[in-house]
Amino acid sequence: MREPKSLQEAIVYFSNPDNCIDYLAIRRWPDGKVICPTCGSDKVKFNPARRLWQCSTHHAKRQFSIKVGTVMEDSAISLDKWMTATWLVTNCKNGVSSYEIARDVRVTQKSAWFMLHRIRLAMQDDFFGSKLGGEVEVDETFIGGKSRNMHLSKRKQRITGTGGADKTIVFGMLERGGRVRAKVMPNRKRESVQPEIRQHVAAGTALYSDEWVAYKGLETDYAHQVIDHAVQYVDGRVHTNSMENFWSLLKRGIAGTYVSVEPFHLFRYLDEQMFRFNNRKDIDDAGRFDLVVSQLVGKRLTFAELTGKVGAATIH
């Protein structure tokens, strides 16, 4: 069968476990040489009855499946469910909730929640040292529930100040016509914001921001122009509307699909939204799915790490 180009075709295609293994193996070992994840040997033999490979070298864990060494490792959930869930979260513009995944692929909500976080890890972009250039917009936003929507007891517990005092700060940089990068920040002070800009934006770039004081002093390294939102929102090329558009997509997904996101996990939802945004133009649904599958390897997330019990996740 030809590889799927739509969700309906993907469900049919991946209902065959051999198709799942073939699809993953081609992307994991594109040269056709299967490598033992334990010792690195290419002298392995496939057992079609058990759908496992066995390394010719005698060592612990010489038998391995396609899941070993990927985010799916130690998962009892079948590959067809993993592939369907991956297609959905990769291509649903506003995300997909764990309850919906649980209903669609017939797993528990807890399992679906764990699956989604592991897929988000595969969607994570390491940026590979490349910097944003051309025209770049920078902005920050607050993520958190509105006090008027909270029960009185919750409001007293969570709201201790005014404005964004009890919300999570997210800082973003967007290259017009290109990529976006966003990060959870401890605060939005100059000493926190400006090092991020210098790390991710090439010197000499046309930089646009609002009038927030943390951006003062950037004109030494950038062609920095400011839009005063108290007066206007657009002045020719000077605006931050593209960055605001990304915040709108992010908050629509959080409020409309996920309803509530803990600050501890927020960076994973940023990874998800950034992946879809950065790959919105150049590739189609099948291409985005293919890219995520190729990034499943070499990443691992245990339930203990995810819940902060062991090796608590680091906000990046």
pLDDT at 290: 96
Domain spans in the chain, listed from the N-terminal domain onward: 1-18+70-123+267-306, 127-261
Q: Which fold has domain 127-261?
A: Nucleotidyltransferase; domain 5 (3.30.420)
pLDDT at 312: 47
The band of 162, judged by pLDDT with boundaries at 50, 70 and 90, is low
pLDDT in tens, 43-85: 999 999 999 999 999 999 999 999 999 999 999 999 999 999 9
pLDDT at 130: 85
Q: Determine the average pLDDT of the residues in 280-301.
A: 93
- Residue ranges in the chain assigned as alpha helix (H): 7-13, 17-28, 79-91, 98-105, 109-123, 152-158, 190-200, 241-253, 266-278, 285-294, 303-306
CA nearest 173: which of 143, 128, 204, 207?
Answer: 207
pLDDT at 126: 73
pLDDT at 313: 43
Looking at the predicted structure, is the pLDDT value of residue 165 above 60? no
Give the separation between CA 21 and CA 242, rounded to whole angstroms.
40
**Two tokens at 22?**
């073939």
Whole-number Cα distances in Å, 98 to 82, 103, 110, 139, 308 = 13, 9, 8, 30, 19
Give the separation between CA 156 and CA 170, rounded to whole angstroms.
24
N residues, the chain: 316
pLDDT at 157: 57
Query: What is the side-by-side strand order in the sheet with 135-143?
Result: 180-185, 168-175, 135-143, 206-209, 223-226
**Two tokens at 69?**
């060494």
Q: Which amino acid is at 154?
A: K
Looking at the predicted structure, is the pLDDT value of residue 310 above 90? no
3-state helix, strand, coil in the chain (%, to 5): 40, 15, 45
Q: Which amino acid is at 304?
A: A
Looking at residue 185, what DSSP letter applies? E
Give the separation between CA 309 and CA 52, rounded to whole angstroms.
32
**Two tokens at 278?**
């950065």
pLDDT in tens, 218-256: 999 999 999 999 999 999 999 999 999 999 999 999 999
Terminal CA-CA length for the chain: 41
Helix (H, G, I), strand (E, B) or coil at 44: strand
Percent of the chain with pLDDT over 70: 91
Looking at the predicted structure, is the pLDDT value of residue 129 above 80? no
Contact (CB, 8 A) for 210 and 140: no
Mean residue pLDDT of the chain comes to: 90
pLDDT in tens, 110-126: 999 999 999 999 999 87
Looking at the predicted structure, is the pLDDT value of residue 145 above 70? no
Q: Determine the average pLDDT of the residues in 24-32.
A: 94
